[in-house]
Amino acid sequence: MRARLGLLVAATTCLVLVAFLVPLAQLVRQVAEDRAVSRANDLIQAVVPLVGTSDPAELELSLTGLAAPVTVFLPDGRVLGPPASPTPAVRLAARGGSALTVQTRAGREIVVPVVSGDGTAVVRTVVPRDELTRGVTRAWLVLAGLGVLLVGLGLLVSDRLARSLTAPIEDLFAVSHRLARADLAARATPAGPPELREVAGALNHLAGRIQDLLRAERERVADLSHRLRTPLTALRLEAEALRDPDEAARLTAAVDGVEAAVTAAIQQARRRGAEAPQAPGRCDAAAVVRDRLAFWSVLAEDTDRRVRTELPATPLPVGVPADELAAALDALLGNVFAHTPDGTDFAVELLPRAGGGARLAVTDAGPGFPRAQGGAPRRGASGSGSTGLGLDIARRVVETGGGSLRLDRAPGGGARVLLVLAAPGSGAVPFTGA
Between CA 434 and CA 431 the distance in angstroms is 9
Candidate from 142-156, 248-262, 273-287 with smallest mean pLDDT: 273-287
Return the half-sphere exposure (C-beta side, CA atoms, 13 A cut-off) of residue 271.
13
Instruction: Say which amino acid occupies 164.
Output: S
Q: What's the mean pLDDT in 16-22?
A: 88
The pLDDT score that the predictor gives to residue 361 is 93
More confident residue, 217 or 99: 99
List C-alpha distances in Å: 424 to 14, 167, 354.
58, 39, 14
DSSP 318-385: ESS-HHHHHHHHHHHHHHHHHHS-TT--EEEEEEEPTTS-EEEEEEE-SS--SS---SSPPTT--SSS
Contact by Cβ (8 Å): 300, 339 = no
Between CA 142 and CA 150 the distance in angstroms is 12
Residue 182 has pLDDT above 50, yes or no: yes
Residue 312 has pLDDT above 70, yes or no: yes
DSSP 287-315: HHHHHHHHHHHHHHHHTT--EEEE--SS-
* Nearest in space to 357 (alpha carbons), one of 278, 277, 283, 434: 283
* Nearest in space to 295 (alpha carbons), one of 249, 362, 231: 249
The torsion angles phi and psi of 208, rounded to 5 degrees, stand at: -65, -40
Sign for the CA dihedral angle at 138, 140, 143, 147 comes to negative
Q: Evaluate if pTM is beyond 0.85.
A: no
Domains of the chain: 2-137 (3.30.450.160), 182-278 (1.10.287), 283-421 (3.30.565.10)
Instruction: Say which amino acid occupies 306.
Output: R
- What is the per-residue pLDDT across 325-353, written as a single tens digit (0 to 9) for each? 888 888 888 888 888 888 999 999 999 98
Strand pairing class (283-284; 317-318): antiparallel
Candidate from 88-102, 207-221, 222-236 with smallest mean pLDDT: 222-236
Mapped onto helix, strand or coil, the DSSP state of residue 433 is coil
Mapped onto helix, strand or coil, the DSSP state of residue 270 is helix
Q: What's the mean pLDDT in 8-15?
A: 86
List C-alpha distances in Å: 269 to 220, 273, 341, 428.
9, 10, 36, 26
Between CA 369 and CA 336 the distance in angstroms is 11
Instruction: Say which amino acid occupies 329.
Output: L
Residue 429 has pLDDT above 50, yes or no: yes
Buried b (16+ CB within 10 A) or exposed e, 351-374: ebbeebbbbbbbbbbbebbeeeee
Mapped onto helix, strand or coil, the DSSP state of residue 140 is helix
More confident residue, 274 or 253: 253
pLDDT band at 81 (very low <50, low <70, confident <90, very high): confident
* Nearest in space to 345 (alpha carbons), one of 298, 310, 306: 306
The pLDDT score that the predictor gives to residue 317 is 92
Beta bridge partners of 103: 108
Residue 279 has pLDDT above 60, yes or no: no
Contact by Cβ (8 Å): 121, 113 = yes
Instruction: Say which amino acid occupies 150.
Output: L
Q: H or E element: which one contains 50?
A: helix 2-53
Strand pairing class (79-80; 283-284): unpaired
Between CA 299 and CA 308 the distance in angstroms is 14
Contact by Cβ (8 Å): 132, 154 = no
More confident residue, 304 or 434: 304
More confident residue, 433 or 286: 286
Alpha-helical (H) ranges within 69-117 are 88-96
